[in-house]
Structure 1
Amino acid sequence: MTNYIDNAIKVFENNFDLKKDEKVVIITDDSMREVALPFYEAACKKGNETIFSQFPAIYKSGEEPPALIAQAMKDADVALCVTQASLTHTRAKKEAAATGTRIGTMPGMTLSMLEKGAIEADPATIQKLTKYFTELLERSSQVKIEKDGEVLTFSIEGRKGIPSTGIFREKGQAGNVPSGEAYIAPLEDSANGKLIVDGSIAQLGKVDKPVTLSVENGKLVSATEKQGQALLELLGTDEGKTIAEFGIGTNPSARITGVVLEDEKVFGTIHIAFGSNKPFGGITEAGVHIDCVVQEPTVWIDDEKIMEKGKVLDPNLPSV
Structure 2
Amino acid sequence: MAPAQQLDKNELQSLLQGCFGITAGDRTLTFLVDLPDASLPDNSDWQFRRNLAQHWAELLRSEPAFFERVQLYSFPHAASNNADLPDHIFRNSLTGRQQNTPELLREVLAGSDIVIALTELSATAPLKMLARELNFRGASMPAFNEKMLAALRLDYNEVHTRVMELKKRLDRAVTATFLFQAEKRNVQLQADIRFRTAHASSGLMREPGMVGNLPSGEAYIVPYEGEQQGVASRTHGLLPVQYGDEVVFYVVKQNHAVDVLGESHLAVEKRRGLLEEPARGNIAELGFGVLAPFGVTAVGSVLLDEKLAPHIAFGRSEHFGGVTSPASFSNPDNVIHIDHVYLPSLQPAISIDEIMLEYPDGSQEIIFASGDYTL
TM-score range, shorter chain: 0.7 to 0.9
2:159 to 102, 126, 129: 126
| Match status 1:80 vs 2:116 | yes
Taking a change above 3 Å as real, the CA distance of residues 122 and 272 of structure 1, as seen in their structure-2 partners, is same
Taking a change above 3 Å as real, the CA distance of residues 86 and 64 of structure 1, as seen in their structure-2 partners, is closer
Taking a change above 3 Å as real, the CA distance of residues 25 and 260 of structure 1, as seen in their structure-2 partners, is same
SS of the residue corresponding to residue 283 of structure 1 reads: coil
| Match status 1:179 vs 2:216 | yes
Give 1:218's aligned residue: 255
Distance in 2 (CA, whole Å) between partners of 1:243 and 1:36 is: 36
Taking a change above 3 Å as real, the CA distance of residues 77 and 188 of structure 1, as seen in their structure-2 partners, is farther
The correspondence of residues 267-306 of structure 1 with structure 2, limited to 5 A, is 269-286=309-326, 288-295=336-343, 296-297=351-352, 298-302=354-358, 303-306=364-367
**Alpha carbon RMSD of aligned pairs, Å?**
3.5
* Cα shift at 1:8: 4.9
Instruction: Tell me which amino acid in the other structure corresponds to 1:65.
Output: A
Instruction: Tell me which amino acid in the other structure corresponds to 1:293.
Output: V
Give 1:194's aligned residue: 238
* Cα shift at 1:154: 1.7
Taking a change above 3 Å as real, the CA distance of residues 241 and 35 of structure 1, as seen in their structure-2 partners, is farther
Q: Which has the larger Rg?
A: 2
Taking a change above 3 Å as real, the CA distance of residues 81 and 93 of structure 1, as seen in their structure-2 partners, is same
The correspondence of residues 96-111 of structure 1 with structure 2, limited to 5 A, is 96-99=130-133, 100-111=135-146
- My pick for the range that moved more, 154-163 or 137-146, is 154-163
Taking a change above 3 Å as real, the CA distance of residues 108 and 220 of structure 1, as seen in their structure-2 partners, is farther
Instruction: Tell me which amino acid in the other structure corresponds to 2:176.
Output: V
Distance in 2 (CA, whole Å) between partners of 1:52 and 1:13 is: 22
User: Is contact 2:18-2:157 (8 Å) kept?
Assistant: no
Deviations 1:249-290 (A, max 9, x none): 222232122112222222xx2111233333332223336432
| Match status 1:21 vs 2:42 | no
User: Is contact 2:164-2:200 (8 Å) kept?
Assistant: yes
Distance in 1 (CA, whole Å) between partners of 2:312 and 2:21 is: 31
| Match status 1:46 vs 2:60 | yes
Give 2:86's aligned residue: 68
* Cα shift at 1:142: 0.6
Gaps of 5+ in 1: 199-206
SS of the residue corresponding to residue 6 of structure 2 reads: helix
- My pick for the range that moved more, 128-137 or 247-256, is 247-256
Aligned-residue sequence identity (percent) comes to 26
Taking a change above 3 Å as real, the CA distance of residues 299 and 159 of structure 1, as seen in their structure-2 partners, is same
* Cα shift at 1:175: 2.0
| Match status 1:250 vs 2:290 | yes
2:173 to 130, 140, 143: 140
* Cα shift at 1:84: 4.8
1:113 to 142, 148, 151: 148
1:151 to 184, 188, 191: 188
Taking a change above 3 Å as real, the CA distance of residues 82 and 209 of structure 1, as seen in their structure-2 partners, is farther
* Cα shift at 1:248: 0.9
Distance in 2 (CA, whole Å) between partners of 1:72 and 1:213 is: 47
- My pick for the range that moved more, 272-281 or 170-179, is 272-281
User: Is contact 1:272-1:292 (8 Å) kept?
Assistant: yes
Taking a change above 3 Å as real, the CA distance of residues 17 and 213 of structure 1, as seen in their structure-2 partners, is farther
Taking a change above 3 Å as real, the CA distance of residues 80 and 219 of structure 1, as seen in their structure-2 partners, is farther
Distance in 2 (CA, whole Å) between partners of 1:225 and 1:107 is: 35
* Cα shift at 1:299: 0.9
Instruction: Tell me which amino acid in the other structure corresponds to 1:301.
Output: L
Taking a change above 3 Å as real, the CA distance of residues 17 and 311 of structure 1, as seen in their structure-2 partners, is closer
Taking a change above 3 Å as real, the CA distance of residues 186 and 226 of structure 1, as seen in their structure-2 partners, is same
| Match status 1:307 vs 2:368 | yes
* Cα shift at 1:134: 0.8
Distance in 1 (CA, whole Å) between partners of 2:50 and 2:154 is: 21
User: Is contact 2:313-2:338 (8 Å) kept?
Assistant: yes
* Cα shift at 1:139: 0.5
Distance in 2 (CA, whole Å) between partners of 1:21 and 1:183 is: 33
Deviations 1:116-164 (A, max 9, x none): 2x22222232122111111010110111112112322221112112121
* Cα shift at 1:96: 2.4
Distance in 2 (CA, whole Å) between partners of 1:228 and 1:24 is: 50
Distance in 1 (CA, whole Å) between partners of 2:84 and 2:142 is: 16
| Larger relative contact order, structure 1 or 2 (CA cutoff 8 Å, min sep 6) | 1
Taking a change above 3 Å as real, the CA distance of residues 17 and 221 of structure 1, as seen in their structure-2 partners, is same
